[in-house]
Structure 1
Amino acid sequence: MIAESQLDIWASQGPTSQFTDTYDRIRSNLLDKGVPYPLAKTEVFLQGSYKNDTNVYGDSDVDIVLCYTGGFYKDLSRLSVEDRRAYDALSNGPAKYDYDDFKRDAAQYITRLYNSVNTGKKALYIPGNNSGRRNADVLIAYEFRRYYAFKSWQDQRFDEGVCFYPAGGSMIENFPKLHAQNCTTKHQNTKSYFKHMVRIFKNMRNTMIGKNLLANGVAPSYFIEGMLYNVPNDKFGGTYQETWINCFNHIVTANRDQLVCANNMHWLVRDNSPTSWPIANFNAFTAALKKYWES
């Protein structure tokens, strides 16, 4: 069992000042009046550990979303036949300025603005510099809506997210704002234990990677947050040791196929899904946690 004093250290939030400054500076540039994309229809916001206050020592990248809101892609599969007919009757058709247009303009602007920008599969990587700017990943995205009901533009119901196309891949939809909101609500409903426990599990992951007990990339922070989101609120409380044991026991005895991501929009553990944790990786992480805790 890991000492309570160590868990207390791991529960603490990592530094934020440099990362806040990095976000503010990049956001200011992305919303500059000279940008080549429609500024009035563009939004910039944080996602990931710094947005969710679950960052730990060693977290290096600031995750930023640059999203076009002047149009949207959608999922209409949950609409009734009647509502789908109403939507089709009022739809204006495909957007004139689509995702490819926005990504082209935004990527060209960012690569001109910063040195050594690396185009990854999902995001643009902006390396830090000597003036204090930290590494940042910028996801170029487009507004996305998952529809549940539609009578008119004044009477509609949907969840708002973002979508993007990775290099050579199909569209991926995600809901970073819902993820952040749900994590905050979970934290409040667990007497402020939830985010502390996320940091403890993240620090355990980092320690296990450093000791070659877990491969890097097996347990992204996003999925750790989702994993703990599924733990009932009454399992949080008491010492960190007690809470860790209660959380872990619930996770490994729950029906794995019923676990959801923290956005409550995707399944947490599934194979062949870009928004889910592969089964082998989930199993590898929980097995490593058990072994390390007992050692």
Structure 2
Amino acid sequence: MNAELVVTDREGLLSRWIKPSSDTEDEQQKRAERMVKAAVDRSPVAAKAKVYAKGSYPNSTNVRRDSDVDIVVECCEVYFHDGAAPSSSTPKQRRPKSLWWPPEEWRSTVHSLLQDHFGRQQVDADHNVAFNIPAVDGSRPSIDVVPSYEYRAYRRLDGAGDPAIGSLVWCKDGKKIVNWPKQQLVNGRNKNTSTGHRYKNMVRALKNAENELVRLGRVTEQPSYLMECLVYNVPDPILKRGHSLDDTFRAALTHLIEGTLNDVHKSWAEPNEIKPLFGAGQKWSVDDAHKLVVETFYLLNYV
């Protein structure tokens, strides 16, 4: 970026950065979801699974020319739970035990369905978490398909009360990952409404800034979800305070820079408001986040 970048330049840049997927990209993303649903619906597994999108696509935080889609294929025969459960890996059967798929078998089942629908050579099974189906220019974006189970977190030790419902992925290496896509979706929509739609605009702006910083070699590429998490932890009054995109983005970055320098970040959570933003099991660190927001501050010449 030009070291002489001024307010009018930044306003124009941010106006481009906050744009969501184009209509063409949006239709291609929807097509990708329909194709995975078709792969499941044409099989006997259809009654035993549900298919839905998660991540930036359903949350409308994806940016133009960066429109990969994450699709969950969730087994409905069983759910896993913690809290009141004797073990976090203890399954609860919804049907007779003979009818449910163990993690390895469910993963294999989803893999076969995708191969039957897209073609054997079109499904990359080398990744630890998801199966990847490559993009077809002009037709669909890259698709990551995640085989999963429902996950229930009970807040009381006796298991009473309504549990938080999440999604559990058993990885190829045997490790598990719990995500909370429904809570992320609802909380993100609420924050976007309460900030006059500035929340998702600022998420897209930060994602585009990270793309530019990676291109320039100034930061290491991070999962795009980190940018969504960071902006979620900017208080609503700060996102609403500025009179322009430039004012708002600068105020948001300032809050994030200060928060990653002191203990404030210890109270930050992912948009699902269940999982801490920093700590064990995360793909990023506080230092990664701090470097990203500081480099973005300098990238836009906020000095």
TM-score of the alignment, normalized to the shorter chain, above 0.5: yes
Equivalent residues in 2 for 1:151-190, closer than 5 Å = 156-190=161-195
Whole-Å separation in 2 of the counterparts to 1:99 and 1:246: 45
Q: Distance in 2 between matches of 1:172 and 1:122?
A: 9
**Which residue identity lines up with residue 114 of structure 1 in the other structure?**
F
Q: Equivalents in 2 of 1:165, 1:60: separation in Å?
A: 25
The aligned counterpart of 2:3 is none
Distance 1:105 1:242 in 2: 51
Q: CA deviation at 1:247?
A: 1.0
1:26-73, Cα deviation, whole Å (9 max, x unpaired): 2222222x24x3x22311111111111112112131111111122111
Partner deviation per Cα, 1:200-259 (whole Å, 9 max, x = no partner):
11111111122222222x2x2211111111111111132111111211121122212211
Does residue 251 of structure 2 align to residue 264 of structure 1?
A: no
Instruction: Give the letter for the 2:75 counterpart.
Output: Y
> Within 1, Cα distance between the matches of 2:168 and 2:244?
40
Corresponding residue number in structure 2 for 1:117: 123
SS at match of 1:156: coil
For residue 63 of structure 1, give the secondary structure of its aligned residue in structure 2: strand
What TM-score, normalized by structure 2, do the two folds share? 0.83
Equivalent position of 1:242 in the other structure:
247
User: How far off its partner does 1:291 sit?
Assistant: 2.3
Relative to the length of structure 1, the TM-score reads: 0.85
Task: Provide the C-alpha distance between the structure 2 equivalents of 1:267 and 1:184, rounded to a whole number of angstroms.
Answer: 20
1:19 corresponds in structure 2 to 29
Contact 1:64–1:137 (CA<8 Å) still a contact in 2? yes
The separation in 2 between residues aligned to 1:130 and 1:8, in whole angstroms, is 26
CA RMSD, aligned part only? Answer: 2.4
Deviations 1:143-191 (A, max 9, x none): 1000124778xx6320000111222142111111111111111101111
The separation in 2 between residues aligned to 1:247 and 1:129, in whole angstroms, is 37
Partner of 2:147: 140
User: Which of 167, 176, 200 lines up with 1:195 in the alignment?
Assistant: 200
Aligned pairs for 1:214-229 (under 5 A) are: 214-216=219-221, 218=222, 220-229=223-232
Matches of 1:168 and 1:185, distance apart in 2: 36
| Distance of aligned partners of 1:156 and 1:100 in 2 relative to their CA distance in 1, 3 Å threshold | farther
Q: How many aligned residue pairs are there?
A: 275
Name 1:273's counterpart in structure 2: 281
**Which consecutive segments of 4 or more residues in structure 1 shift more than 3 A?**
91-96, 149-152
1:106 aligns with 2:106: no
Return 5+ residue gaps in structure 1 as ranges: 86-90
Q: Is the 8 A contact 2:169 2:177 kept in 1?
A: yes
| Superposition deviation, residue 101 in structure 1 | 2.6
For structure 2, the residue ranges without an aligned partner over 5 or more in a row are 1-5, 87-91
Aligned 8 A contact 2:57 2:67 in 1: no
Could you say which residue in structure 1 is the equivalent of 2:14?
Answer: 7
Query: Partner of 1:287 in structure 2?
Result: 294
CA drift of 1:92 comes to 6.2
Deviations along 1:81-116, one digit per CA (max 9) or x if unpaired, are xxx79xxxxx76995523233212111221232232
